[in-house]
Amino acid sequence: MTNHSEITEATQAAHKAIDGVKSDVDTAREQASELMEEAAAHGWEGVAATMQQAIEALEAVTASLSSADDSLEAVLRSLGEITSKLSSGEVAQRLGNTARELHEIRSGVDTAAGSLNDAVNAAAQAEANALSAALQGVSDQFDGLRRILEDLKTKTDEEGQAAESWGN
């Protein structure tokens, strides 16, 4: 059985995971920028252009993750509004809204993962092996983030169903 505090803790864990991924994406973006500048200094226009594509893809990752993070903060605020003064029906409704928001957050994370894949492809095309390795690490973090979000959605759904059927 899930409870409200477990959902809040899982939401905080998702928030922390997104912050970690964003930090590593920013580091990879800086690395790609340095590689782009180095390639441009050598006159390797094609490699520099490919690194620019990686940078743009990583900026898109950051934007998608920032949006997901903002939504998670809204979920945390909404969860904080669930108090003992609400009826079980009101709790169920708020948890239903939270579940829908979590679905949207997951979609945003999937969009970010698609942009990450674009950056991975650009790094591979340019044969930027160190950047490719860093991006693989970020990709692994995305897998963990997806698991956290799926667990959170499951807990939210379970608690919402419990609130909906409470007293019946």
Nearest residue to 5 via CA among 82, 104, 74? 82
At residue 1, the pLDDT reads: 47
CATH classification of 4-163 is 1.20.140, yes or no? Answer: yes
The pTM score is: 0.89
Least confident of 13-17, 75-79, 146-150: 75-79
Measure CA 62 to chain center: 9
In the chain, % of residues over pLDDT 70: 98
At residue 2, the pLDDT reads: 54
At residue 12, the pLDDT reads: 93
Domain boundaries, the chain: 4-163
pLDDT tens digits, residue range 37-80? Answer: 999 999 999 999 999 999 999 999 999 999 999 999 999 998 88
Q: Is the model more confident about 94 or about 118?
A: 118
Instruction: Give the residue-averaged pLDDT of 118-144.
Output: 95
Under the banding of pLDDT at 50, 70 and 90, the label for residue 87 is confident
At residue 151, the pLDDT reads: 92
